[in-house]
Amino acid sequence: MTNQHIGIGDLSIATTHYMIEHSTLAGHQGVDVGKYHHGLGQEAMSVPASDEDIVTLAATAAAPLLERHGTSTLRTVLLATETGVDQSKAAGLYLHPLLGLPHTTRIVELKQACYAATAGLQFAAGLIARDPTQQVLVIATDIARYDLGTPAEATQGAAAAAILVTADPGIAVLEPVTGVHSSHVMDFWRPNHRTTPVVDGKLSVTSYLDAAERAYADYLRRGGRDLDEFTAFCYHQPFTEMAYKAHRHLLGAHGRTTSQQETDSALTTSTHYNRTIGNSYTASLYLALASLLDHRCDLADQHVGMLSYGSGCVAEFFCATVVPGYRDLLRADAHDRAITARKPLSYEEYRALHEFHIPTDAGQHTMPEQTSGPFRLAAVDGHERIYETR
Ligand code: HMG
């Protein structure tokens, strides 16, 4: 068994109960909606209900994988998030009663802004290279929440992606050659005392582009594929226009010119989910992959270029080679249902949810019953989060 036969065996995404249209947001902000629809490439964004959080999103994304594959070979759960609910306990442990995880499973939480899920995939591949009979569940789950009235407000969103990493995967092989770039940049961070990040938006865009170029250069130095070998690309999408900026930047840095038609063919199908869900931080890149796979039927044996970026910053470029028969494992209808079932919020309802915070005292606090999802945060009692399954 070599690393070349390790990759994505299954993939499922989940999002929130609520959403707000960018036209609603723009109308109340006095902003031309063209800035959001065309400048940022966003139509709507997912908004969590008061009884949803990264744990309920993670459980909702992961449940269909466990239903299909069982848990007998699951040995590790890596939950990646930058919306952690505890400084000590890994959020993945709350999934035990919700999903019936085996007690013979190691569970940890990973953090590095939007990049951590990609680290999770690489760590998973290492574990499976050592023992190909094991499977690893990687869950990316995040809520992107910015201060009201800031330029970043229109780039909020929330979602989770659950990825089963296996030997002889049914969806895509993760090729072992990858390119990495990391550096100390203060473009986006969230100190412990804040519920929203501190952002230097313009710096974050240039830092992303620079890191993408350097990660791909490292990938090439290590024997990676030429840009022409990829049929499609998935980029981390804080807003979908960022994928187009990154793609044009990468091609330009390598002396390529590209027509609008070629760019659309390489990128557009990877942006459908993020365009209506918004930024989902660690999950965003894997929503892009789900969107690409769910909407194209010609990807068997094709190479997909994957660019992961997390502020601060770490970027990684790698190749996912799609496996023949992948379409039999997809969940396009369920993904579509999760997105279309969201309840649109008025601007006032959105503001009220944005201002809602779980009380921080030791009392017993029951959460308003809002989500129609299969899992909910029912209460916080004596600082303990109590979840329930419907
Ligand atoms: P801004 O500065 O208000 O926007 O916020 P802008 O003035 O740059 O306009 C955006 C685009 O809309 C521009 O196009 C305008 O021309 C266009 P561009 O020059 O970029 O091609 N525009 C219009 N288009 C059509 N019709 C109109 C119109 N008006 C303007 N009427 C900013 C943009 C990204 C700064 C802000 O949204 C922000 O701060 N976002 C949060 C940070 C972010 O998303 N950064 C992205 C890279 S960092 C990253 O991806 C990591 C991250 O996910 C965090 C993590 O890793 O954990 C954020």
Tokens representing residue 72 in the block: 């007998």
Q: Please enumerate, as own/partner, the contacts of 21-28 that have beta carbons within 8 Å and a separation of 24 or more.
A: 21/344, 22/154, 24/344, 24/345, 24/346, 24/347, 24/350, 25/153, 25/154, 25/347, 25/350, 26/154, 27/347, 28/347
**How do 157-167 and 135-144 pair as beta strands?**
antiparallel
CA–centroid distance, residue 40 to ligand 1 (Å): 6
Q: What would the mean pLDDT of 268-276 be, rounded to a whole number?
A: 97
Helix 284-295 × helix 332-340 angle, to 10°: 120
Q: Which residues line ligand 1 (CB under 6 A)?
A: 32, 34-35, 38-40, 82, 113-114, 151-152, 155, 188, 199, 201-202, 204-205, 208, 236, 238-239, 242, 279, 281, 309-311
Say whether 114 is catalytic.
yes
Atom of ligand 1 nearest to the CA of 284: 53
Catalytic residue among 17, 236, 295, 335: 236
The pLDDT tens digits of the residues spanning 345-382 come to 999 999 999 999 999 999 999 999 999 999 999 999 99
* pLDDT of 39 over the 90 cut: yes
Say whether 236 is catalytic.
yes
Q: Which of 29, 33, 35 to mutate to test the pocket of ligand 1 (most atoms within 8 A of CB)?
A: 35
Residue 274: count other Cβ atoms within 10 Å of its Cβ. Answer: 31
* pLDDT of 3 over the 90 cut: no
The pLDDT tens digits of the residues spanning 87-134 come to 999 999 999 999 999 999 999 999 999 999 999 999 999 999 999 999
* pLDDT of 1 over the 50 cut: no
**What's the per-residue H, E or C state across 231-249?**
EEEEECCCCHHHHHHHHHH
* pLDDT of 258 over the 90 cut: no
pTM surpassing 0.75?
yes
Q: Please give the angle made by the CA atoms of 247, 251 and 253, to the nearest 5 degrees.
A: 115
Question: What is the residue with the minimal CA distance to atom 51 of ligand 1?
Answer: 311
Atom of ligand 1 nearest to the CA of 115: 56
List 309's β-bridge partners, or say none: 315
Tell me what the pLDDT averaged over the chain comes to: 97
The pLDDT tens digits of the residues spanning 44-86 come to 999 999 999 999 999 999 999 999 999 999 999 999 999 999 9
**Phi-psi group of 258: left, alpha or beta (phi > 0 → left; psi -120 to 50 → alpha; rest → beta):** beta
Give CA–CA dist 162/221, Å, rounded.
31
The pLDDT tens digits of the residues spanning 302-328 come to 999 999 999 999 999 999 999 999 999
pLDDT of residue 4: 59
The pLDDT tens digits of the residues spanning 185-205 come to 999 999 999 999 999 999 999
Give the pLDDT band of residue 257 (cuts 50, 70, 90): confident
Atom of ligand 1 nearest to the CA of 237: 50
Q: Identify the three-state secondary structure at position 366.
A: strand
Can you say whether the dihedral through the CA atoms of 185, 79, 180, 143 is positive or negative? negative
